[in-house]
Amino acid sequence: MNRIHHEAAHWSVELLDENFDGTQADRFARWLSESPEHLQAFASMQQTWDRSGQLNIPAPVERGQQEGSVGIRTVVFDVLAAAAVAAVAWLLINIGSPAAQVVKADTGVPKHIVLPDGSQAKLRASTEMVVKFGSEQREITLSRGEAQFDVVHDARRPFSVKFADSVAWDLGTRFSIRLRGEHEADLIVQEGRVCLGRDLQHCEIEVAAGEDAHLDFGVWKVNTWLTFWGAPLSEFVAEINRHNQRKLQIADPTIADISVGAIIQSGDLDTIKILLRKNRVRIKASGNPDVLLLVRDPGHLP
Amino acid sequence: MAIDADEKCNWGDELLQKVYRFALGLTKNKQDAEDLTVETWLRLERRAAAPQGSVENQLAYAIKTATNLWIDICRRERRKADGQESGRMQLSAALQVDPDAEAIAEEEAERMEIARDHLPERPREVFRLVRHEGLTFVAVAAKLGISVSTAKRALREALVALAAARTDEGVGK
């Protein structure tokens, strides 16, 4: 670790200070812009900070969250044969109260569990989640790491996974979630469909088999290739919106029929912006952070 | 993303002005600074709407957000310049088929845990209190009977040691 890394650590710590002020912000901007190495060192230090939140830290056990209790059968994996889903041993635990329970896969030891309803969860090493099954809900809270869920669908009792300010619930499916940081995560759907939203009431995005979604600072995007051959802008917007939590909205009806042709990744907002600009359409902020407005570029009036 | 002049004037928000000033200092480009400020504002609004929305210091959070966004933009530009696929595709590919990446992450986590466990008592305790209990520096200082600057110094020491362990470099290297 050289001087630049120590300076990056200094700024990482200062940004945690509740008294960080505008003067420090100016100094930080100057330091960052002095050299690409500074930006790189800061990014690396931030990555360390994010990862450090996922380390295996012994924490006080909260009431109702005693580890390894109710209704969960644990299959311990041979690490070398983990991918083959070969169970080595079963640990059958008695069913107790419907209280939440913590399930952990320690460092270097993946874990495969069978939940009380027959659904299965494969936890990668260094993963932690809380399982709470009741008569009306099956709820899992993923606090660290990565897990794959193979869900036995039950429309009367939704199977949901809470993580990183979001909730995903199954529509009969197999899916994986990986936490990458406090507000960063990936979701991959192997079978069926998954709903994503901030609560169980609103399915903001539906992710289908073969698609993956990425959470970046609390905003979900689905990555899939979309092809448009001279589609009207209204159709383009509807399709993009189907894959993004932040929605585009045509604010000027006169642009709705503009013809759009592109092969584009649904979550690549940068490229979408460029494409729209080429079509003389501009994106502007609305009062709602979840909605971006599309207007005609004033430099290109009809 | 462009911003209307009147929209910008209507912001009238000291926080956003500071973020814009920071973004301008960082990007050295007015258009990039405006884009970065709007993106940061959107993230802040989103964060405020989230259940865990209260942020101790909005400015620090905004600056960190703007910096991370800028880092992402720079990375994307570099990938495009290198002719690689988008980062999102790389991430998803890594998640599905790259067992090496997973193994590397595991090794990094193991090295970081070892480094953390070998920290001197004060940095280790300050790290635990800030990172895992979410205490402010003032609260940590009061709890441990040390000054705020000592608490910050201890956290810096912990962070450098963890970074060195993660990247497999010695602290003194």
- Residues in chain B with pLDDT values less than 50: 1-12, 51-53, 85-98, 171-173
Stretch A251-262: mean pLDDT, rounded? 89
Best mutation target, B88, B104, B129, B140, to test chain A (most A CBs within 10 A): B88
Nearest by CB: A51 against B92, B112, B155 = B112
**What residues 72-101 of chain A have any CB closer than 8 A to a CB of chain B?**
83
Q: Is there a contact between B160 and A59 if contact means CB atoms under 8 Å apart? A: no
Tens digit of pLDDT for each residue in A46-60?
889 888 887 765 443
**What residues 277-296 of chain A have any CB closer than 8 A to a CB of chain B?**
282-285, 289-290, 292
Q: How far is A183 from chain B (nearest CA, A)?
A: 10
Q: Is there a contact between A1 and B160 if contact means CB atoms under 8 Å apart? A: yes
Tens digit of pLDDT for each residue in A18-44?
888 888 888 899 899 888 888 888 988
Tens digit of pLDDT for each residue in B81-114?
766 544 433 333 333 434 566 677 778 888 888 8
Contact list in B for residue A28 (CB cut-off 8 A) is: 22, 63, 67
Nearest by CB: A39 against B52, B71, B167 = B71
Residues constituting chain B: 173
Stretch A250-264: mean pLDDT, rounded? 89
pLDDT at A12: 93
pLDDT at B158: 92
Q: Is there a contact between A22 and B21 if contact means CB atoms under 8 Å apart? A: yes
pLDDT at A1: 67
- 3-state SS string over A117-167? CCCEEEECCCEEEEEEECCCCEEEEEEECEEEEECCCCCCCCEEEEECCEE
Chain A residue closest in CA terms to B171: A1
User: Number of Cβ pairs closer than 8 Å across A and B?
Assistant: 201
Neighbours of A22 (CB within 10 A): 16
- 3-state SS string over chain A? CCHHHHHHHHHHHHCCCCCCCHHHHHHHHHHHHHCHHHHHHHHHHHHHHHHHCCCCCCCCCCCCCCCCCCCCEEEEECHHHHHHCCEEEEECCCCCCCCCEEEEECCCCCEEEECCCCCEEEECCCEEEEEEECCCCEEEEEEECEEEEECCCCCCCCEEEEECCEEEEECCCEEEEEEEECCEEEEEEEECEEEEECCCCCCCEEEECCCEEEEECCEEEEECEEEEEEEEHHHHHHHHHHCECCEEEECCHHHCCCEEEEEEECCCHHHHHHHHHHCCEEEEECCCCCEEEEEECHHHCC
pLDDT at B83: 61
Q: How confident is the model at residue A90 (pLDDT cuts 50, 70, 90)?
A: very low
How many percent of chain A have pLDDT more than 90?
Answer: 11
Q: How far is B122 from chain A (nearest CA, A)?
A: 16
Query: What's the order of all strands across the beta sheet hosting A247-250?
Result: A247-250, A291-296, A281-285
Nearest by CB: A212 against B7, B86, B92 = B92
Q: Is there a contact between A126 and B109 if contact means CB atoms under 8 Å apart? A: yes
Contact list in B for residue A39 (CB cut-off 8 A) is: 70-71, 74
**What residues 114-143 of chain A have any CB closer than 8 A to a CB of chain B?**
124-126
Q: Please report how the helices B14-27 and A22-34 are oriented relative to each other, as an axis angle in degrees rounded to 10.
A: 20
Q: Is the pLDDT of residue A71 over 60?
A: no
Q: How far is A114 from chain B (nearest CA, A)?
A: 22
Q: Is there a contact between A265 and B74 if contact means CB atoms under 8 Å apart? A: no
pLDDT at B84: 53
pLDDT at B10: 38
Stretch A148-160: mean pLDDT, rounded? 86
Q: Is there a contact between B91 and A22 if contact means CB atoms under 8 Å apart? A: no
Q: Is the pLDDT of residue A68 over 50?
A: no
Lowest mean pLDDT among A105-119, A254-268, B53-67, B89-103: B89-103
More confident: A250 or A113: A250
pLDDT at A75: 47
Asked if the interface predicted TM-score (ipTM) of this complex is over 0.90, the answer is no
Chain A residue closest in CA terms to B11: A287
Stretch A153-175: mean pLDDT, rounded? 84
Q: How confident is the model at residue A67 (pLDDT cuts 50, 70, 90)?
A: very low
